[in-house]
């Protein structure tokens, strides 16, 4: 009986000392999403993660489709999109870009499910992910 009481007191002591650490650790895990990832470390060490062929790379024989819905404009390629309602991140030229960031002198103004819209002030450019575009 003394052993059970001792274990019970130790358990209560641990819970009081923890002050929500276990609960807050689980709550923190649920709050974060892939879009909240700090990308600076990934970009600095990107050479460590490169291997073989890039499955998102547009084939060299793929023609441009013009300014609207293009696969590649001014050397910019939309490699992928992580989209959620009201926001998201885009992967342009293998770099993670958020709304408002500048890439190749163009500002990323909108991220949609299948494309991104960039602007340099005068001109708006749409880049599409290859799998969403139709071949010319």
Distance CA 49, CA 11 (A): 44
Summarize pLDDT for 46-102 with one digit per residue, the tens.
Answer: 555 556 666 665 555 454 443 445 566 777 888 889 888 777 899 998 899 999 999
pLDDT of residue 114: 85
Q: Is 2.30.30 the CATH classification of the domain at 56-132?
A: yes
Strand ranges inside the chain, DSSP E: 72-73, 76-84, 87-92, 95-98, 102-103, 106-111, 115-119, 124-128
* Structural domain boundaries in the chain: 2-32, 56-132
Q: Tell me: pLDDT of 37 over 70.
A: no
Q: Tell me: pLDDT of 45 over 50.
A: yes
Lowest-confidence pick of 23-27, 104-108, 122-126: 23-27
Summarize pLDDT for 14-23 with one digit per residue, the tens.
Answer: 766 655 555 5
- CB of 65 closer than 8 Å to CB of 119: no
């Amino acid at each position: 009986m003394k052993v059970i009481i001792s274990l019970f007191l130790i358990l209560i002591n641990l819970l009081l000392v923890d002050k929500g650490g276990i609960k807050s650790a689980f709550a923190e895990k649920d709050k974060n999403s892939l879009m909240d990832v700090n990308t600076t470390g990934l970009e600095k060490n990107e050479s460590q993660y490169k291997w073989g062929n890039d499955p998102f790379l547009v084939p060299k024989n793929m023609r441009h489709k013009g300014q609207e819905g293009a696969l590649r404009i001014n050397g910019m390629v939309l490699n992928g999109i992580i989209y959620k309602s009201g926001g998201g991140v885009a992967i342009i030229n293998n770099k993670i870009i958020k709304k408002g960031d500048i890439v190749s002198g163009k500002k990323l103004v909108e991220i949609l499910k299948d494309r991104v819209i960039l602007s340099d002030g005068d001109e708006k450019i749409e880049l599409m992910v290859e799998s969403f575009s139709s071949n010319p």
